[in-house]
């Protein structure tokens, strides 16, 4: 390699501008990517990260600014063209076709980049099944619909890796992955980088950036702020650059001793679901935030979905404020005030193409109706009021949810939940894909709810979050509650031990 190719960046962006109507998503940003480096792009929700990636991938045309690949100016007109130029892109949102197989999804995404008119299907098949087995033994013949969200995310990654790219963009790839899957991905990233492939890595998790990336660039409000060598900086410095202020409290204060109450809001007794969980019993007391910890697949989401009758054939009893409920479906659950915030924002959380206001009122449109028809004015008022309380950043509430950044979409999902004045909320991964500033806000909102007497149950795969937010944590393993931690007993080690010890015992016997 000559000195020249070493110093010319593989990708260089200068003064790039992109607006969506009045929203100035990128206000003249610069960016530079070296050959074989893993370069993190950090910034709060709405900072413009995904927008820039969509420009690089030819999905969005910039208003002005220049893109250079290997020193040559280029105009990337489409994703197909980006693919031909060797750019691979794993999008922030999963966009697979659910009703066809994993292999077919991968084939559909490949455009013919060879010089012959024929596609090398054999080659693609060999390569994709090799990659899928590396990533976590996913059957290429399985229907995408049958896969978990984390497996679907792995298929998205496999799709990009099947193409021989020289520049790989990963937009929050680990938001839906388990810790183990994420580690496999990091291994693959390092392997690719060692082969000279350049990677742009977007994540809100500082640990990931600091463990895996060479440099980090920070955007704030559509502007370029800085680029730093990871080895020469600290997570605190990156976060300050992102938010332009110091975030002192990621977690609000917990329930004080004198605030503890004996009043039981929710009492769950012997809840069972044939294949998924059994004998689940616990009480949720007034003012407390109760966490559910466990490995992915342990049954945490299934349990809370069972309580709300979202899925499964559930037996056992649920008492709300001492009264036994007889729920048959989720509609009845909402009417009683038991509301579930889905971990799958896109799948069953929100209607992305619909307006923010319509999403917020979706659980109970009667509230915003007048004389039997939906009143747009009331709907708008409700969305604006809840949006304000959550500090939602949007142009106006008539915008489609798809136009919002990930963190702001999550706030819409929370507003939707709050619109029905819930008695108990089940929050499944409430801050997934949410930036640090918004995360702190969501934690504050959750604590406010508990203080106001709403029962709060939180599921999170991020242990620091569970420990930081909850007053008490139940550990679920293989569909059963196997432990409880509170106070100073709430440590990552202790929770991990309770969440996984079952397997160790089995091996021992």
Ligand X SMILES: Nc1ncnc2c1ncn2[C@@H]1O[C@H](COP(=O)(O)OP(=O)(O)OP(=O)(O)O)[C@@H](O)[C@H]1O
The Cα-based distances of 321 to 259, 291, 304, 309, 427 in angstroms read 18, 20, 17, 18, 20
| Alpha-carbon span 418 to 230, nearest angstrom | 40
Scanning 177-185, 374-382, 403-411, 488-496 for contacts with ligand X by CB under 6 A, the matching segment is 403-411
Q: Per rule CB under 6 A, is residue 407 in the interface with ligand X?
A: yes
Q: Per rule CB under 6 A, is residue 49 in the interface with ligand X?
A: yes
Out of 5, 20, 270, 491, the only residue in the binding site for ligand X (CB under 6 A) is 20
Query: Closest by alpha carbon to 367, among 332, 375, 359, 388?
Result: 375
Q: Per rule CB under 6 A, is residue 215 in the interface with ligand X?
A: no
14: phi > 0 → left, psi -120 to 50 → alpha, else beta; which?
beta
In eight-state DSSP terms, residue 161 is H
Scanning 31-39, 405-413, 459-467, 490-498 for contacts with ligand X by CB under 6 A, the matching segment is 405-413
Name the residue with the smallest CB distance to Mg ion: 50
Out of 33, 35, 45, 440, the only residue in the binding site for ligand X (CB under 6 A) is 45
In a 3-state reduction of DSSP, which class is residue 65? strand
Task: Say if CB 49 and CB 29 are below 8 A apart.
Answer: no
Binding mask 428-457 for ligand X (x = CB under 6 A): -------x----------------------
Out of 8, 17, 23, 264, the only residue in the binding site for ligand X (CB under 6 A) is 23
46 binds, among ligand X, Mg ion, none (CB under 5 to 8 A by kind): ligand X
62 binds, among ligand X, Mg ion, none (CB under 5 to 8 A by kind): none
Among positions 354-383, residues that touch ligand X (CB under 6 A) are: none
The Cα-based distances of 363 to 27, 341, 421, 432 in angstroms read 37, 11, 11, 22
The Cα-based distances of 71 to 14, 244, 259, 430 in angstroms read 12, 32, 63, 42
Task: Say if CB 441 and CB 270 are below 8 A apart.
Answer: no
16 forms beta bridges with 29
20 binds, among Mg ion, ligand X, none (CB under 5 to 8 A by kind): ligand X
| Alpha-carbon span 45 to 21, nearest angstrom | 19
Out of 50, 361, 410, 431, the only residue in the binding site for Mg ion (CB under 5 A) is 50
Scanning 45-53, 103-111, 275-283, 494-502 for contacts with ligand X by CB under 6 A, the matching segment is 45-53
Out of 12, 48, 230, 314, the only residue in the binding site for ligand X (CB under 6 A) is 48
Chain residues binding Mg ion by CB under 5 A are 49-50, 92
The contact set with ligand X (CB under 6 A) reads: 20, 23, 25, 43, 45-51, 92, 403-407, 435
């Amino acid at each position: 390699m000559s000195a020249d190719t070493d110093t010319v960046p593989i990708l260089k962006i200068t003064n790039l501008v992109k607006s969506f109507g009045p929203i100035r998503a990128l206000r003249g940003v610069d960016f530079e990517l070296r050959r074989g480096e893993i370069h993190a792009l950090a910034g709060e929700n709405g900072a413009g990260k995904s927008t820039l990636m969509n420009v690089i991938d030819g999905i969005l045309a910039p208003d002005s600014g220049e893109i250079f690949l290997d020193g040559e100016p280029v105009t990337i007109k489409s994703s197909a063209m980006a693919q031909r130029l060797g750019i691979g892109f794993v999008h922030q949102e999963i966009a697979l076709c659910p009703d066809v197989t994993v292999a077919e999804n991968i084939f559909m995404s490949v455009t013919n980049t060879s010089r012959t008119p024929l596609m090398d299907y054999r080659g693609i098949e060999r390569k994709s099944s090799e990659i899928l087995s590396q990533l976590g033994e996913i059957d290429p013949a399985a229907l995408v619909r049958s896969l978990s969200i984390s497996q679907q995310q792995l298929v998205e990654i496999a799709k990009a890796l099947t193409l021989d790219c020289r520049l790989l963009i990963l937009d929050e790839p680990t938001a839906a992955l388990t810790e183990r899957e994420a580690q496999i991905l990091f291994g693959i990233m390092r392997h690719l980088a060692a082969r000279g492939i350049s990677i742009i890595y977007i994540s809100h998790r500082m640990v990931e950036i600091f463990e895996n990336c060479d440099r980090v660039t920070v955007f704030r409000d559509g502007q370029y702020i800085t680029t730093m060598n990871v080895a020469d900086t600290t997570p605190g410095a990156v976060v300050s650059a992102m938010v332009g202020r110091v975030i002192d409290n990621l977690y609000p204060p917990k329930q004080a001793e004198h605030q503890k109450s004996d009043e039981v809001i929710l009492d769950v007794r012997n809840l069972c679901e044939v294949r998924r969980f059994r004998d689940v019993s616990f009480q949720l007391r007034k003012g407390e935030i109760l966490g559910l910890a466990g490995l992915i697949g342990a049954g945490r989401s299934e349990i809370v979905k069972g309580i709300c009758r979202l899925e499964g054939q559930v037996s056992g009893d649920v008492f709300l404020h001492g009264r036994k409920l007889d729920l048959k479906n989720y509609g009845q659950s909402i009417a009683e005030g038991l509301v579930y915030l889905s971990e799958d924002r896109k799948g069953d959380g929100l209607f992305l193409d619909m307006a923010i206001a319509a999403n917020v009122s979706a659980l109970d449109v009667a509230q915003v109706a007048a004389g039997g028809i939906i009143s747009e004015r009331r709907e708008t008022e409700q969305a604006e009021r809840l949006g304000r309380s959550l500090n939602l950043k949007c142009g106006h509430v008539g915008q489609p949810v798809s136009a919002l950044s990930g963190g702001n979409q999550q706030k819409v999902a929370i507003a939707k939940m709050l619109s029905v004045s819930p008695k108990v909320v089940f929050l499944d991964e409430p801050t997934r894909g949410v930036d640090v500033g918004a995360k702190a806000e969501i934690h504050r909102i959750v604590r406010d709810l508990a203080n106001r007497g709403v029962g709060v149950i939180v599921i999170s795969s991020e242990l620091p979050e569970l420990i930081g937010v909850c007053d008490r944590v139940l550990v679920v393993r293989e569909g059963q509650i196997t432990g409880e931690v509170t106070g100073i007993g709430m440590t990552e080690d202790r929770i991990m031990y309770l969440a996984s010890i079952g397997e160790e015992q089995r091996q021992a016997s």
